[in-house]
Chains A and B, each alone.
Chain A
Amino acid sequence: MTRLLDARNLRAAYRTQDGRLVRAVDDVSVHVDEGEVLGVAGESGCGKSTLGAILSLNVRSPLQVESGTLDIEGKRQDFGASAKIPRTWRGSVVSLLPQGAMNSISPTMRVRDLCFDVVRAHDRRARRSDALDRVRDRIADLGLPPRVLDAYPHQLSGGMKQRVVTVISTLLNPRLLIADEPTSALDVSSQRALIEMLKEMLEQKIMAGVIFVTHDLPVLRTVSDRIAVMYAGKIVEVADAGDLVDRPRHPYSAALLSSVLVPEPRYRTMRVKGIPGAPPNLLDPPPGCRFHPRCGLAMPQCHTDEPPTDGTELRYSACHWSAQHPGESVPVEAATRDELDGGEPLDRAGEPVALAGDGTGVGR
């Protein structure tokens, strides 16, 4: 299998008004193979959307990428203060499928005008009729009604709008599509339609790979081949989708799974538990393992030492516990604490139990 994307040591931060840095993505490396869907999961504020913004080359102030490299099909791009990434990469090499497609099209323009603008932005000599013919074919291929081209965004339903935006995002056959919570605002049947469409596009080789960012584990289980779980700006576990859901090796993955309804036999009999506490403040992340204040398996070294990475590039877990128990999966019941210890250096400790993964899973 050929390597499509290889991103190494990405580090990015938001600069606050008073000049401090909130490092939302801290030394993250991911890769995507040809034809693969990589899911990125995590609760709100874990940095998954920031990662999506970096990978889709859509970084805007106050977010700054501090370091990292990006290889897409052999083309290398260094991030950093002076990095100049060609504008035309966006949309043709990597493309963004945004969260909240509701407002992704300017309210005063027709869908076909945006389509033409996208084509023309990458090919100055493109003719309007040719471009629109191409769009029309694409829309017919994917089973959308042709009238959507002439519609204004307010004339489309939410699910239809999201599918139209998906078509626009993939109009130029980008190599990699970064889908940032595309299903989050949709009802279950629209989610299903969108996911079917993405799969269809992968089959037709419209794009070569997808990174699917969401907090919705059940959706992720259906669409992705591999899943990366993020916590507090770092990737804590990577595994095949089935493997991760069935045999999580990182306590956070296990805790995340136990906090949503997953229709897997192993979880079906369990009560939905939350993860006590809240994610750490990234202005001042806890020392050692960032999850230790909320972890049921925390050991003394978790408070002080960065966890080692145990496993291979394709299946690893960054955890002291899993380093001591290679190949074992985390006992789900033990992974979360029932309550927090007093005096823990946990940001906003003492607040009521937070449900991880804001959306409770939909029963798919």
Chain B
Amino acid sequence: MQFARYLLRRTLWLLVTFVAAMVLVFLLIRLVPGNPVDAIVAQMTRGGGGSGEQVRAIYDNYMREFGLDLPLWQQFLVFCQNVLQGDFGTSFAQYPAPVTAMIGQALPWSIAIQLPAIVVGWLVGNVVGAVAAFRGGWFDKGAFLTSIFATSVPYYCLAIILLFVVAVRMQILPAGGGYSFGLSPELTLTFFGDAITYFWLPFWSLVIVFIGGQAVGMRSMAIYELGSDYVNYARGLGIGDNRITRYIFRNAMLPQLSGLALSIGGMIGGALITELVFNYPGLGTLLFTAISSNDYPVIQAIVLLITIAVLLANFLVDVVNGLIDPRIRAAETGDR
């Protein structure tokens, strides 16, 4: 009952922030000086073809197609309607490719590389951090220093070093791209076997950094929890170390879980630089190309997608935190 109320409040918050995000994305794009149609028409007539009358017709046609002839509030409604139907319009730079299709092509690559990296990094990092805190001694010192180092190295540096050593010098793995020339993305073993060789380098460059960050965070949380009264008391009652470690893990995990969900949310945006370094065909590369060619519909769609992902991730964090931490539930519903 209490939890249902908590859930309802969280859902309402989610909807409110979502609407705010929609308004912001819509307005921000329209704050950019100039009109995208001007740019297209200018490009089409660059060769000096077409009379003023024809240009006028083309211009009006595009204005109608993009819905720019309507008043702002109607444009917003149309925008909302389209977004809710999954229609993000047409790309300017690769006209007339629909933005939805472009994102649909890039998104799986980004997810394929980041989801495993985040999940593996989170699990390994937290276990290493918790064990280091619990064991202490040399294991702790070694793990802590390595983690600090791993998380302090800028991830693009690590990516470039990996690329240089493994792909250029040793030539074990391919240097860039998502799959070999001559193949096209399909669900076959040959394609999978080929794509996985392109997968390892960007994967490791992400996962190493992630493990380090998680281990450092978990270690300090666990050390804090280790000194708490309930650990001492549980020991005094003869409860075994394994059980106590579970208490510690559960409490130390709360902030780590938020971190996990936020990373998964941020994943949609793509590891921009990593994808660029390895020329990986994910969302990061797509976003980069879109920005450099002023492709507003694509930028807008990706920004909105990132916003939605982060919002959903936050919502999930709230729900999970509410599930495992009774204090949050109580504070939220004003019930003590």
**Interface of A toward B, CB cutoff 8 Å:** 56-58, 60, 87-92, 95-96, 98, 100, 102-109, 114, 117-118, 121-122, 152, 154-155, 165, 168-169
Contacts and interface: CB of A to CB of B under 8 A. Distances in A.
A163 to B, nearest CB: 15
Contact of A98 (B232, B238, B243, B327): B232
B251 A107 contact: yes
B246 to A, nearest CB: 9
A56 B228 CA distance: 18
B42 interface: no
Given A104-B229, A107-B230, 12 more contacts: A58-B235, A91-B236, A91-B237, A91-B239, A103-B230, A106-B230, A108-B324, A108-B326, A109-B247, A118-B238, A121-B238, A155-B330
Given A58-B236, A121-B237, A121-B240, A103 B228 contact: yes
Contact of A95 (B229, B234, B237, B243): B237
Contacts of A95: 236-237
Contacts of A152: 326-327, 330
Contacts of A88: 238
B95 interface: no
B336 A105 contact: no
B60 interface: no
B73 interface: no
Contacts of A118: 237-239
Interface residues of B, number: 22
A169 B324 contact: no
B336 A154 contact: yes
B237 A96 contact: yes
B236 A98 contact: yes
A74 to B, nearest CB: 20
B75 to A, nearest CB: 48
B229 A87 contact: no
A117 B232 contact: no
16 contacts: A56-B236, A57-B236, A58-B236, A90-B238, A96-B233, A103-B228, A106-B247, A106-B250, A107-B325, A108-B325, A117-B243, A152-B326, A154-B326, A154-B336, A155-B326, A155-B330
A87 B250 CA distance: 23
A56 B236 CA distance: 7
A87 B243 CA distance: 13
A90 B250 contact: no
Contacts of B232: 58, 60, 98
